[in-house]
Amino acid sequence: MKSVFPRRLTLGQLPTPLHRLYRAENRWGKGHRLWIKRDDLTGCLLTGNKVRKLEFIAAHALDNEFDTLLTCGAVQSNHCRATALVGAQLGLAVHLVLAGQSEDRPKGNLLLNQLSGAKISYYEKSEYKKNLDSILLEWEEYYTKNESRALVIPTGGSDGLGIWGYIRAAQELSEDFKRENIEKAHVVCATGSGGTQAGLLIGSELFDCSSTVWGVNVSDDADYFVRKIISDVDDLKSRSSSFNHIHPEPRIIDGYVGGGYGKANSIIYQLISELASLEGIILDPVYTGKAFHGMITEIAKGRFSGSTDIIFIHTGGIFGYLANTEEV
Ligand SMILES: *Cc1c(COP(=O)(O)O)cnc(C)c1O
């Protein structure tokens, strides 16, 4: 199987640890064993899930003579920050198309973007939402005209190239399973653009690790993400014939978006601080806090009953949380 992997750069600190959450398990586990896959430890500045995708995306950029990485997201996008720093590490130019406004005193991910020297273009949220594809296309053409070559990386790095990062993470998990004597498990992640879940889903089929992958959506709804994940997998199939036999059926746990993408209520903030004091692990309010909340609520409802092991994928998010200016 190894040979079908496209080339990747080693950018992340991998493999990441998998460990038990004994005190959280006492508090919320209802008899399950609770584990955490520490993808918040993929790097200091490159913390989180995006660097796994960027290992493949950046290799593709170098191999195909792109000199610029062009991508997009919210002002506090973890994906944009990881791309900005990866670009600087590789000597590639980075251009970020961000939804929102520039800030006099940037914080968190935005501060790191600025320090990394990335070029940043801001768009009103409504315009961004309506015209993102054409905005990216215009910038791509701008680079072509200027004798440069920009690789457009979609939101969250989620497409048939980026999802290799989590196909590989599933392979890592299959090693974790062997080491820890886990026979089968439910695997839960936050889903924001679908690539993490898509990769885990395909990877667990490929590497025959008996896991049932669940994504807790942090925006939109279940229908949207089922379609998005299937279209990312179709993109993968169009790039490689090794996947024609795979027909993924994404499982979305809907109902934990709360007030919308990026909006968290006091239940989420309280849960973040409770887990921090129990286990010394910091979740974030946009992604992992909502996903963890969804997971423990579904444990309480019995969704996972009948299986012993539940694995939470910690996908990062600390810099966005530190920049968080919402009421807590
Ligand atoms: C981007 C992100 C996610 C969502 O991953 P997708 O692959 O986009 O679905 C989850 N958690 C954090 C912290 C993220 O930055």
User: Is the distance from the beta carbon of residue 289 to the nearest atom of ligand 1 less than 6 Å?
Assistant: no
Rounded to 5 degrees, what angle do the CA atoms 167, 171, 176 make? 140
Q: Where are the domains of the chain?
A: 18-48+159-327, 50-157
User: Is the distance from the beta carbon of residue 73 to the nearest atom of ligand 1 less than 6 Å?
Assistant: no
User: What pLDDT is attached to residue 328?
Assistant: 44
Percentage of the chain lying above the pLDDT 90 cut: 93
The pLDDT tens digits for 247-265 are 899 999 999 999 999 999 9
What's the CATH fold of domain 18-48+159-327? Rossmann fold (3.40.50)
Sign of CA dihedral 311, 10, 206, 287: positive
Distance CA 284, CA 49 (A): 13
Distance CA 196, CA 299 (A): 22
Tell me the one-letter amino acid at 53. K
User: Is the distance from the beta carbon of residue 217 to the nearest atom of ligand 1 less than 6 Å?
Assistant: no
The pLDDT tens digits for 42-52 are 999 999 999 99
Burial of 17 (0-12, 13-18, 19+ CB in 10 A): exposed
User: Is the distance from the beta carbon of residue 316 to the nearest atom of ligand 1 less than 6 Å?
Assistant: yes
Pocket test for ligand 1, best of 315, 318, 319, 321 (most atoms within 8 A of CB): 315
C-alpha distance from residue 281 to each of 14, 21, 175, 209, 275 (Å) = 19, 10, 23, 26, 6
| Atom nearest to 190 CA in ligand 1 | 10
Q: Is 77 a catalytic residue?
A: yes
Measured in angstroms, how far is the CA atom of residue 314 from the centroid of ligand 1? Answer: 9
CB 73 within 8 A of CB 98: yes
| Atom nearest to 192 CA in ligand 1 | 9
The residues, any chain, with a CB within 8 Å of residue 68's CB and separated by 6 or more, are 92, 93, 94, 95, 143, 148, 149, 150, 151
Lookup: tokens for 156 = 């969250």
User: What pLDDT is attached to residue 325?
Assistant: 63
pTM, rounded to two decimals:
0.97
Distance CA 253, CA 255 (A): 7
Burial of 91 (0-12, 13-18, 19+ CB in 10 A): exposed
Q: Which residues of the chain have pLDDT under 50?
A: 2, 327-328
For the domain spanning 50-157, the CATH number is: 3.40.50.1100
User: What pLDDT is attached to residue 3?
Assistant: 54
The answer to whether the 18-48+159-327 and 50-157 domains have the same CATH topology is yes
Lookup: tokens for 185 = 């498990």
User: Is the distance from the beta carbon of residue 191 to the nearest atom of ligand 1 less than 6 Å?
Assistant: yes
Measured in angstroms, how far is the CA atom of residue 49 from the centroid of ligand 1? Answer: 6
The residue whose CA has the least distance to atom 3 of ligand 1 is 192
Tell me the one-letter amino acid at 171. Q
Measured in angstroms, how far is the CA atom of residue 144 from the centroid of ligand 1? Answer: 30
Measured in angstroms, how far is the CA atom of residue 315 from the centroid of ligand 1? Answer: 6
Pocket test for ligand 1, best of 16, 45, 49 (most atoms within 8 A of CB): 49
